[in-house]
Amino acid sequence: MHPVLFQLGPLVVPSYGAVAALGVLLALGLAQWTARASGLSGAASQQNIGSRHAWNMLVLAVFAALAVSRLILIVINLSDLRRHPAWLLTVAMVHHPLLAAAGIVGAIAAVLLYVRWFRLQLPVVADCLAAPVSIGLACEQLGALLAGSDYGRESADGWAVTYTSSLAARWSGTPLGVPLYPVQTYAAIGALALTILCLAWFKLARRPGDVAGVWLSGLGILIFLTEMFRDWEGRGVLLGGLVDIPQLVGLGLVVAGGVVLLDLKARRPDAAGDTARP
């Protein structure tokens, strides 16, 4: 595929970063609508405040994910970087499942701190961010397809992808000259479908947190299924090779989503006059 989108002299623009940045922009734009649909904006006079909160949380999450993942990479390779300081310029290009997991944890922590600081309602915030995060994930996986990161297992199918760029191997450890499942495409399509599902769910009678519950369950299913086609190198194989760590996380997300939905249903009044927010 194409790890480098284009190059102007010494300036290299990686495909992964460019497509992921597009995903951030789409997420920020979509969050302006979900802030109103979820009730984060509150009254009409406060719509700008809710949209600003959504914008701030997404930007904070992106920066936290980048900072945490890159700092961990620098710490792990500190001795090598001391001998070769110029390698710092390529730190942003390196992709690894553990770095992605660390970045996700950092992003979640940053959002939770923001929610606590401004005393926002967590279920409403989760509803607001579900669809934007999903569309961002869809773009991120398209970028991963171009870069060769999060690559699939060896495949004999006609739609398999074969990487030949040495940069894909250097930045993501991608095997070269081997047909692989285009699992990133599967994940991108699934994430886009989850985005549409979350947006449609706003139209149904609900309570705060319903969209988040659907999103958690859908994301867990998506992770579990796509991991069947991914190469498990560096992803932590458990139970004698039956599952990897992301699949266990996916199962946990499905359970968490079910608990959220059941808890909200149990707390929903049965009175006929009780109606959900539009």
d(CA 187, CA 185): 5
Give 66's contacts (C-beta < 8 A, 6+ positions apart).
Answer: 103
pLDDT digits (tens, 9 = 90+) for 181-202: 999 999 999 999 999 999 999 9
Q: What is the DSSP letter of 230?
A: B
Q: How many CA atoms lie within 13 A of 80 on its CB side?
A: 9
Structure tokens at 11: 């300036």
Give 153's contacts (C-beta < 8 A, 6+ positions apart).
Answer: 180, 181, 183, 229, 230, 231
Mean per-residue pLDDT for 166-178? 87
Quote the pLDDT of residue 268.
56
pLDDT classification of 273: cutoffs 50, 70, 90: very low
pLDDT digits (tens, 9 = 90+) for 125-150: 999 999 999 999 999 999 999 999 88
Q: What are phi and psi of 8, to 5 degrees?
A: -120, 95
The larger pLDDT score, comparing residue 155 to residue 42, is at: 155
Q: Which residues pair with 252 in a beta bridge?
A: none
pLDDT classification of 270: cutoffs 50, 70, 90: very low
d(CA 203, CA 198): 9
pLDDT digits (tens, 9 = 90+) for 36-68: 888 886 544 455 788 899 999 999 999 999 899
